Structure 1
Amino acid sequence: MYLIYFLIGFIATVLGAAAGLGGGIIIKPVLDFWGQSSLELIGFLSAVTVFSMASVSLLRTKKRTIKIEKKQSLMIAFGSIAGGFIGKGLFTILVNHLLPTRIVGLIQSILLIGILLIIVLFIKFRLYVKTYQIKNKLVIFSVGLALGVISAFIGIGGGPLNVAILGWLFSMNTKQAAYHSIFIIFFSQLSAIIITLLTDDILLYDLSMLPVMVLGGIVGGIVGSRLSERLSSLHVEYIFNTVIIIIIVINLINIFQFIQFQTS
């Protein structure tokens, strides 16, 4: 069991660091599919693991030739932190007061599939999509706010959304967007961890798997960042699209399992 959780954290963060996916986009649906943890615990495990990966990846950015546009990325990050509080609050209200947990999980899976399909179409046809160079700070902050709400509610960390939005609004190629995505993910996951610590009693969770997932995230962050340095933008885009398609398939299976559970 420990080996399985380590491999989930490791594989997710290798791909996350290499392609700017963050890892949460992989961890969340895979743990849903595994079915051994609650939605709240899955969100916390994902946030801490991805934060570990992002921390390691950022420590290596000084060796990279691509410059991080810190002003833009920080503004998006601050917006995503604020949005994270809203998204997490919405999730908590739905789970604790309005809907059964499995219904919320179904909503998350459906939303994630819709978002991923839009992202795949954007990446595929990006040459035909008009891109921008947004400079207005309020607009940049608002973009981060929206990303934070969506990512925190679904529990994915925001990696693929970040890459698509950075490509669309700031005319970055996939590799540039992947670097900046990790920068944004660092702050968004830090806020997610803080929110959980402030609003949930984490001592009620079974955190026995957390250390091995964090270890997987650290090792995955090192391997993924080294891999990213050696990959071309085309290779990064290929990894990005392949992982997105796999995650869509896993989410479809999760939805089918949920429907089967409800009708049995």
Structure 2
Amino acid sequence: MVLIFFIVSIISCGAGSICGIGGGVIIKPVLDATGIMSVSSISFLSGCTVLCMTVVSVYRNMKSGTAKIDLKISTALAVGAAVGGLIGKAMFESLKEAAGNEDLVGFTQAVVLILITLATLIYTVCKEKIHTRHCTRIWVCVAIGLLLGVMSSFLGIGGGPINLMVLGYFFSMGTKDAALSSLYIIMFSQITSLVQTFASGNIPEMEIAYLVFMIIGGIMGGTIGSRINKKISDHGVDKLFIFLMAVIVLINIYNALKFSGVLG
């Protein structure tokens, strides 16, 4: 089973690094579908893996210069996302405690992910026809980052697809620039979320081997994805992103049915 987690982390983080979706939006639903671990354990493993991948990807992409990042705007978004991550984490823990049922939490996450992923997919397909904005006010950036952080932390996905849609619409960023900025934001929100988890002592039970191999897979995936990102066009990144979003919608529909008990 450790091998399955390792392979999923490499593939997810490789694709996540290329598209700027972080990888958690793939890791979380795929591993939820296996039923191997609890929702809480998978969310924690996903967060650790995505953090390692984003650190590697941001460093390599900024060093290579294949994409540009507006540090003023991206840092404001990242600060907001970090604070939002704390709120989202608290919401997740509150829902888990109130529900007293991991399946209900998993069902809620799956349904919200379906809606968000569909919205992102539709936006990406139609974005050439959409008139975008170019926000520069710092308080607006922080507020937007806050909302991104809440959603990504609550869902345990790092935020990727939501980030890309928001960066494209509100800041008129190109595909690769948005991907790099998204990874930068995810890195900050994941650091904050994980620090809170360790500080509060809410670390779910799991075998350490899963954590070690997923982190290694995340680093490898981030390295591979950064190299591929240099060689493909914005159009190629968009095509991969659309394909991934369609697959993720299907996986989350399966998860929603599984957690609801429809599939037994």
Is TM-score (shorter-chain normalized) higher than 0.5?
yes
Structure 1 residues 263 and 211, CA gap change in structure 2 (3 angstroms): closer
Question: What residue number does 1:254 align with?
Answer: 255
Q: 1:204-215 maps to which residues of 2 (within 5 A)?
A: 204-215=205-216
The answer (yes or no) to whether the contact 1:15–1:224 under 8 Å persists in 2 is: yes
Question: What residue number does 1:94 align with?
Answer: 95
The answer (yes or no) to whether the contact 2:17–2:222 under 8 Å persists in 1 is: yes
Question: What residue number does 1:216 align with?
Answer: 217
Structure 1 residues 205 and 229, CA gap change in structure 2 (3 angstroms): same
3-state SS of paired residue (1:209): helix
Question: What residue number does 2:144 align with?
Answer: 143
Question: What residue number does 1:52 align with?
Answer: 52
State the AA in 1 paired with 2:185.
Answer: I
Structure 1 residues 254 and 65, CA gap change in structure 2 (3 angstroms): closer
Q: Are 2:233 and 1:232 equivalent residues in the alignment?
A: yes
Per-residue CA deviations over 1:41-74 (Å, capped at 9, x if unaligned) read: 1111001101111111122121124221111111
Q: Which range moves more in the overlay, 19-28 or 172-181?
A: 172-181
State the AA in 1 paired with 2:94.
Answer: I
The Cα of 1:227 is off from its aligned counterpart by 0.5
Taking structure 1 as the reference length, the TM-score comes to 0.96
Per-residue CA deviations over 1:145-174 (Å, capped at 9, x if unaligned) read: 000011111111001111110000010122
The Cα of 1:207 is off from its aligned counterpart by 3.0
Q: Are 2:21 and 1:21 equivalent residues in the alignment?
A: yes
Write the distance in 1 (CA, Å) between the matches of 2:262 and 2:100.
14
Write the distance in 1 (CA, Å) between the matches of 2:204 and 2:28.
21
State the AA in 2 paired with 1:121.
Answer: I
Question: What residue number does 1:32 align with?
Answer: 32
The Cα of 1:249 is off from its aligned counterpart by 0.5
Per-residue CA deviations over 1:219-250 (Å, capped at 9, x if unaligned) read: 10000000001110000001111001101010
Write the distance in 2 (CA, Å) between the matches of 1:246 and 1:182.
21
Identity %: 39
Q: 1:96-245 maps to which residues of 2 (within 5 A)?
A: 96-202=97-203, 204-245=205-246
Write the distance in 1 (CA, Å) between the matches of 2:154 and 2:75.
21
Write the distance in 1 (CA, Å) between the matches of 2:221 and 2:26.
13
The Cα of 1:9 is off from its aligned counterpart by 0.6
Write the distance in 2 (CA, Å) between the matches of 1:257 and 1:115.
19
The answer (yes or no) to whether the contact 1:64–1:229 under 8 Å persists in 2 is: no
Gaps of 5+ in 2: none
Write the distance in 2 (CA, Å) between the matches of 1:10 and 1:210.
13
Write out the 4+ residue segments of structure 1 that deviate beyond 2 Å after TM superposition.
199-208, 261-264
Question: What residue number does 1:84 align with?
Answer: 85
Taking structure 2 as the reference length, the TM-score comes to 0.96
Q: Which range moves more in the overlay, 124-133 or 45-54?
A: 124-133
